Amino acid sequence: MNHRKCNTCFEFHIFFLFPVHNIKPKVKRKEENTMAKYKDSTIHEMLKKAMKIKNEIMKNLSSYHVSISNGNSKIGKVMNVSTMPILACGNCKECKNYCYDVKACVRFVKNVLFNRMKNFLIAKYDRERYFAEIREKLSHRKKNFYFRWHVAGDILDYEYFLEMVAIAKEFPHFRFWTYTKVYSIVNQYIAEKGSLPKNLVVMFSEWDGVKLDNPFNNPTFSVKMAAGNKNHPAEYFNHIMKCPGNCDFCKDHHCGCVAGMNVYADEH
């Protein structure tokens, strides 16, 4: 995969000609700059509600359809699909208590949690239809567009990832990207099949304390912890791009995760 590191010239163009401060962060207050750690009881409550939704949906799963979003305030105008936080994440032991999508599900249970669980169940029990409905949605876009897999959730298994790769090949006018902590699935594909399609970027999501298994040098997305990182010295973050906080910025200027660069975000 062709990805670049930030250099001085590139940073000048990105951060001065197109200043990040033009993208206003949603929260600026100092006391909210650190991640809110969720207690196990909060996660259990969310999962309890999710199980009630599951029981309702499973009564007639075939009557429900995959929810595909056209974007939101965080990622901008980027088509995306999500499944369930925690339930669809194969390597979330260290980060589940800080998961931003748990926050979304707790605050907006009526729509967000329902759609997350619905997509997760279709992907798990009716996978052929899950990907068929995604293909149908993509087929209506004829120009260069962007699609993000899993604002919530992760790659479910190897066969699921094969479908993601197949879709990238079928829709070359799209730019696809995703974040994963299930490194082994992507590593297996590259070892067996070779490189990924050029229009599919898989960012290895690096959480402090989680061992990064990255033998093929996939681009990474790291979180710079306020208390310091075990995985990297502070100087590491001086040499990679800082996330501007909105995917629209990077797709408009073809940088960051969209371009397969190493990126970090401050703990938030």
Identify whether 32 is part of a domain.
no
- 14-35: per-residue pLDDT in tens? 333 333 333 333 433 333 333 3
Identify whether 159 is part of a domain.
yes
What's the predicted TM-score (pTM) here?
A: 0.82
- Closest among 199, 83, 76, 68 to 140, alpha carbons compared: 68
Banded model confidence at residue 110, pLDDT cuts 50, 70, 90: low
Q: How many structural domains compose the chain?
A: 1
- 185-211: per-residue pLDDT in tens? 999 999 999 999 999 999 999 988 888
- 59-68: per-residue pLDDT in tens? 999 999 999 9
Identify whether 242 is part of a domain.
yes
Identify whether 12 is part of a domain.
yes
Identify whether 24 is part of a domain.
no
CB of 23 closer than 8 Å to CB of 245: yes
User: What does the mean pLDDT of the chain come to?
Assistant: 83
| Contacts of range 234-242, beta carbons closer than 8 Å, 24 or more positions apart | 237/264, 239/5, 239/6, 240/5, 240/6, 240/264, 241/6, 241/11, 241/14, 242/20, 242/266
Structural domain span for residue 109: 8-19+39-266
Identify whether 13 is part of a domain.
yes
Sequence-distant (≥ 6) Cβ neighbours of residue 241 within 8 angstroms: 6, 11, 14, 255, 256, 261, 262, 263, 264
Identify whether 3 is part of a domain.
no
Give me 87's structure tokens: 């339930």
Identify whether 34 is part of a domain.
no
Q: Residue 38: what pLDDT?
A: 53
